[in-house]
Structure 1
């Protein structure tokens, strides 16, 4: 083994380099300056400094999703770490491999409530897969390589590594270690045969495709499997691109505002095949999705996920890609008129439900019409990122994802995610068109990252749907506490003009006919761009918009 004398900071960077890290996102801090200095003019690792630690962690998380690798973010102790935590929570719920390097107080000062002191192993213990503090420089190669391995193996997720300030200045002989290659569980032949037989003999089977499909890029395999077994497919919450939406076997997505007919069909299914989904609260409609008569086959890479929400008749701990490959090898085509009719009817219902009407408005931008234009104008390999917010209902209902790796959004429902996630995704996929969607509430939380995009010349397009309120909460407020509006009204500056101050392209759109010209100008600018879309504050959901347009047609 090669042995050289390195400081703690240099050893950290040496491990990062060996792990194949090419980008790291941070807000610089004095408690880990040793790492920052070791990255000075590093030939292969680019350090991207952001304007808020939350933005750094969102960028690193989305970069990991878009690149297929492991994200790295860094922050200083105390306040920096707390700000970073929102992206770590997102990575945990989204099963995204992420390593967070956080500066810590000097070892002799621990336990004295030193400046910005936080016990990180306790603070992050339930937010991450693992949290560790490296007490001695000699153990950096061992523990940091382990951190990367844990982050990407099994069900991927975030790992926090705490780095005492004084430890980073210590020196020791660096003993090079091997990068541990993760192996994935392979299903037994018997389990696959049992699953295939149960699917073959089911009367109303349906597949739910989740993050295990998107992470392993197995959508093409799932298409072959669904076609062979003649089974309709739905995608879990914010996993739209786990199956091509225009395919004849696609039945729709699960989440907020799902088609009631689709939900009823799933509740009446006699067999659900869950592929790499953790059955989140949103996917399962508050854990009501599966009926009492429904049997479940659950395939997941983590044994901890098997039976966590619903008890399966067959639980298979396996990598979804490995399961699909084996299942396709052993599958016999199923020809059944009832199942074929169900596949056709479910896809037809999806197409009807998800076709945006070309409804334009002059006073505001009609979201139905805007999504109609977006569907026509965006290239099929464009990457879309989004915040949480009521604007998301239009995107989830009307946009069709037909290519893998084209949607990046937080299953945790984090506001402020869209813009920094777009920046991280564009850095990972510079040749793709990357567009973020945010409401005015969420955009305002991380809009300072426009400066990051401008400084590093990352030409993302941010679409901001502005109705001057926290729209999702307003909708809940009006439902549960009618006539008692409080805390949800907002006032905003002109976001397009603010974008220009950051050196970006900016345009405010007040009617539908101006949206596509603004989009073309944003693309042609070659700069980060903001398109601010002013919408009717009285329309808070895609379903409400549908009712209003339907009533207007009857009146006319």
Structure 2
């Protein structure tokens, strides 16, 4: 039986197990949307901006472990989608973007909204392809899903010419690829265990590969057996339980100098499932030339990209840890136990919340104290980029796996749409997004999406009427020459209510907990605006130097 290109696309999506697809509707892929009408098992989430759609798909993929799917029209819609595709690339998130394209006879004539999509996105994606023959849809689209989820996961873009989607053909039958991840060899695991045993100051850095492989429990076993301090890579907080005695802290903005020195002075560093990002390595200064690096990753392309390893092991994190736990034997190694416990004690002291409260503004230290006390441990946290994140990364302890969904790309506008995606993946769990006022305004229209689809996320907006991160850089590099970073904002709580959500405005610490409890009880998508002191824009700032701002009730 002949089927249309649009139906063939959706048939592949069904076979690949797609449950959610995020889009802004577009005329150039109407054939796909029409075919989705016949497949109610795939829920189509129509968003208010393509950037929101791509962030939702990326957040959904992170939270669910499945391939995220987003769709947009050609040219203008596709370029709006780019921010989420870039996030998926830097975060190693499996994503398939389906983009409507100019009709084949009109190509290269500067047709309406024409962009060479495969070329434009080629450096942002693992693979890009334009399907110009309808009968090739099953073949190429199944390949797209395989590439997105295999190896180091990432985004794949598939361009679908409008007229091709209306063509009909008898389709060959294809099934989703069955593929295995590269497995470690026993001798490699034994060698790593031997190197750690000989080391005087070993450290393990756990990255997204641990999360992707669902290997956190095995990593806990291995760390315990080896008395090995574990540090989580940039924005990979939940790769290891933060309250565990082997946890030494995290890499990224605001990492304590003492922990960075400890890693720099390490004689052996085991990097497990991490690519050594610029932020995590403090501009590529993390390791010393004397450090012996053991790099274990599913993707051999990253070996030597930043640091040359003395031992490079191409392997899935879970398969490596299974062999490593076995190689470590039944006896725990206590040689470095005191050092590991001391590193964890320092992290615990650094991350202890402070019950600082003020009457004039909401003190962020006290705010985090209440957040930690109020949110259940299985809450999924998402966030935007911004200086407010310094308080979250320092004080929030991620104790369970799959509780953090954040952008290593540093994308603004990510928090709310990613929270919607995460909540759709886990409707039974609390999901809370954190944004600054600058980032939140970039995708705030997705509140309406949450209301329309009844997705009860809680969006916390930390409002100081400033692009805070850039202001902080200005104060360091160009003091007393502030330009372009002052903002004015609406009443965010009232705006949320106008959209049909629950809205709260918090101007002092005492108001926050009741507001949070009301937001949870409402059962609606909710927004809590937290008004903070614009003179305190960094978690490391000395608050005592800000005159007339603090009324502490410690």
Same fold, TM exceeding 0.5?
yes
Structure 2 distance, partners of 1:552, 1:537, is: 13
Instruction: Determine the structure 2 residue equivalent to 1:279.
Output: 276
**1:335 Cα shift?**
3.4
Instruction: Determine the structure 2 residue equivalent to 1:515.
Output: 512
Structure 1 distance, partners of 2:463, 2:80, is: 25
TM-score by length of 2: 0.98
The Cα offsets for residues 36-92 of structure 1, whole Å up to 9 and x where unpaired, read as 111114231111100000000000001011111000000000010000010000000
Instruction: Determine the structure 2 residue equivalent to 1:231.
Output: 228
Instruction: Determine the structure 2 residue equivalent to 1:90.
Output: 87
Structure 1 distance, partners of 2:253, 2:61, is: 26
Change (3 A) 1:326 1:393: same
Instruction: Determine the structure 1 residue equivalent to 2:325.
Output: 328
Instruction: Determine the structure 2 residue equivalent to 1:20.
Output: 17
Report the number of matched residues.
551
Instruction: Determine the structure 2 residue equivalent to 1:373.
Output: 370
The Cα offsets for residues 227-285 of structure 1, whole Å up to 9 and x where unpaired, read as 10111000000000000000000000000000111111111000100000000001100
Contact conserved, 2:356 with 2:363, CA < 8 A, in 1? yes
Alignment of 1:207-286 (within 5 A): 207-286=204-283
Bigger drift between 186-195 and 103-112 goes to: 186-195
Structure 2 distance, partners of 1:195, 1:373, is: 42
| Secondary structure of 1:436's aligned partner | strand
Instruction: Determine the structure 2 residue equivalent to 1:352.
Output: 349
Bigger drift between 531-540 and 169-178 goes to: 169-178
**1:183 Cα shift?**
1.0
Structure 2 distance, partners of 1:552, 1:470, is: 22
| Secondary structure of 2:541's aligned partner | helix
Unaligned 5+ segments in structure 1 are none
Instruction: Determine the structure 2 residue equivalent to 1:501.
Output: 498
Instruction: Determine the structure 1 residue equivalent to 2:58.
Output: 61
The Cα offsets for residues 494-527 of structure 1, whole Å up to 9 and x where unpaired, read as 0000000000000100000110000000000010
Instruction: Determine the structure 2 residue equivalent to 1:113.
Output: 110
Instruction: Determine the structure 2 residue equivalent to 1:167.
Output: 164
Change (3 A) 1:215 1:73: same
Instruction: Determine the structure 2 residue equivalent to 1:50.
Output: 47
Change (3 A) 1:122 1:529: same
Bigger drift between 173-182 and 112-121 goes to: 173-182
Instruction: Determine the structure 2 residue equivalent to 1:39.
Output: 36
Contact conserved, 2:357 with 2:551, CA < 8 A, in 1? no
Q: 1:409 aligns with which of 406, 409, 415?
A: 406
**1:214 Cα shift?**
1.0
| Secondary structure of 2:435's aligned partner | strand
Contact conserved, 1:129 with 1:159, CA < 8 A, in 2? yes
**1:487 Cα shift?**
0.3
Instruction: Determine the structure 2 residue equivalent to 1:530.
Output: 527
**1:336 Cα shift?**
4.0
Contact conserved, 1:152 with 1:182, CA < 8 A, in 2? no
Structure 2 distance, partners of 1:552, 1:432, is: 36
| Secondary structure of 1:31's aligned partner | helix
CA-based RMSD: 1.5
Bigger drift between 40-49 and 30-39 goes to: 40-49
Alignment of 1:298-313 (within 5 A): 298-313=295-310
The Cα offsets for residues 415-445 of structure 1, whole Å up to 9 and x where unpaired, read as 0000000000000000000000000000000
Structure 1 distance, partners of 2:241, 2:17, is: 31
Structure 1 distance, partners of 2:551, 2:42, is: 58
The Cα offsets for residues 89-127 of structure 1, whole Å up to 9 and x where unpaired, read as 000011000000000000001111111000011100100
Q: 1:539 aligns with which of 533, 536, 540?
A: 536
**1:553 Cα shift?**
11
**1:358 Cα shift?**
0.4
TM-score by length of 1: 0.97
Instruction: Determine the structure 1 residue equivalent to 2:294.
Output: 297
Instruction: Determine the structure 1 residue equivalent to 2:136.
Output: 139
**1:340 Cα shift?**
1.3
Structure 1 distance, partners of 2:368, 2:223, is: 29
Structure 1 distance, partners of 2:544, 2:306, is: 35
Structure 1 distance, partners of 2:77, 2:310, is: 46
**1:356 Cα shift?**
1.2
The Cα offsets for residues 513-554 of structure 1, whole Å up to 9 and x where unpaired, read as 110000000000010000000000000111115665999899
Instruction: Determine the structure 2 residue equivalent to 1:100.
Output: 97
Structure 2 distance, partners of 1:303, 1:347, is: 32
| Secondary structure of 1:103's aligned partner | strand
Q: Check if 1:185 corresponds to 2:182.
A: yes
Change (3 A) 1:488 1:398: same
Contact conserved, 1:200 with 1:334, CA < 8 A, in 2? no
